[in-house]
Amino acid sequence: MSKIKPSKGAPHARIMGVGGYRPTRVVPNEVILETIDSSDEWIRSRSGIATRHWASPEETVAAMSIEASGKAIADAGITPEQIDGVIVATVSHFKQTPAVATEIADKIGAGRPAAFDVSAGCAGFGYGLTLAKGMVIEGSAEHVLVIGVERLSDLTDLEDRATAFLFGDGAGAVVVGPAKEPMIGPTVWGSEGDKSDTIKQTVPWDVYRDGTAEKFPAITQEGQAVFRWAVFEMAKVAQQALDAAGISPADLDVFIPHQANMRIIDSMVKTLKLPESVTVARDVETTGNTSAASIPLAMERLLATGQAKSGDTALVIGFGAGLVYAATVVTLP
């Protein structure tokens, strides 16, 4: 018989508050067209994107995260000192070590929380949310700050016609804490590593360091392959998340998919046969693809504009480089 005492965590977990930060500079498609042979009409028809935000030198990964975190903590009605876990999902923090989560924890005044980064591409926020839920239920933390943040403008090849118009910068954050009833459903997550070359960094850092790469590393992708995978395979994953939570599409109030592409979003809505009553996040139009930041940013905007309300049932799904994915049903804060 084990002599280890059982964990004393909460019976369930919930999202208590949400916050977001978008850089001040708004970049319209006309700026993108200065370096690629395309048109505003083509960009909008292919992606649904009209504008995106690009960070200034001062709007670092840490700085944007701190702004979003402050709003999420205030929205949750707690103090920074009550945060005992910080998880940052990002692929655009250029320091290999230490984790940017440790810097953010210090700057927001969280004390000495567990702090680490997660690299799971556009599914990073879903991975972080799942880990935070486990920490709260297991009892190793009571309030966990989950941040999705990117400066993808640093990893964009403005001469790549397939991706130059896609990416934006920003940070979104949520506070996960204890709940008396289920408010974050089971996560359906996984990876398809045999497709890892469909979204990737053009060259490794060491190749660039050695001087054998002509350009700074950037994100590239096989657009059609990613589109087909996202539309057909991720709709299946989204349905599995609904089934795991014990609800049907008719029970949903809100759908918050990763803001990769408007055509992907619309196709998923159709495949899932979501009722017209379901509010669908389409933040990609003015924010672009912000990878790990896209879901919390879209969530924050829906709540701030009144398109969604506290207590709504929402399906969230992230998917991207790896290829990795994560989907779950949540109750909005």
Dihedral sign for Cα atoms in the order 309, 311, 52, 170: positive
Which residue among 29, 53, 122, 143 is the active-site one? 122
**53 flagged as catalytic:** no
Dihedral sign for Cα atoms in the order 209, 212, 213, 217: negative
Q: Is 96 left (phi over 0), alpha (psi -120 to 50) or beta?
A: alpha
Q: Are strands 254-257 and 279-280 parallel, antiparallel or unpaired?
A: parallel
- Give CA–CA dist 191/71, Å, rounded: 32
* CB contact set of 240 (below 8 Å; sequence gap of 6+): 188, 327
**29 flagged as catalytic:** no
* CB contact set of 300 (below 8 Å; sequence gap of 6+): 18, 19, 20, 71, 172
Backbone angles phi, psi at 14, to 5 degrees: -150, 160
- Give CA–CA dist 216/123, Å, rounded: 24
Q: Which of 179, 178, 215 is nearest to 35 (CA)?
A: 215
**93 flagged as catalytic:** no
Can you spell out the DSSP letters for 205-220? HHHHHTT--SS---EE
With b for 16 or more beta-carbon neighbours within 10 A and e for fewer, the 237-270 pattern comes to: bbbebbeebeeebeebbbbbbbbbbbebbebbbe
What amino acid positions are annotated as catalytic residues?
122, 258, 289
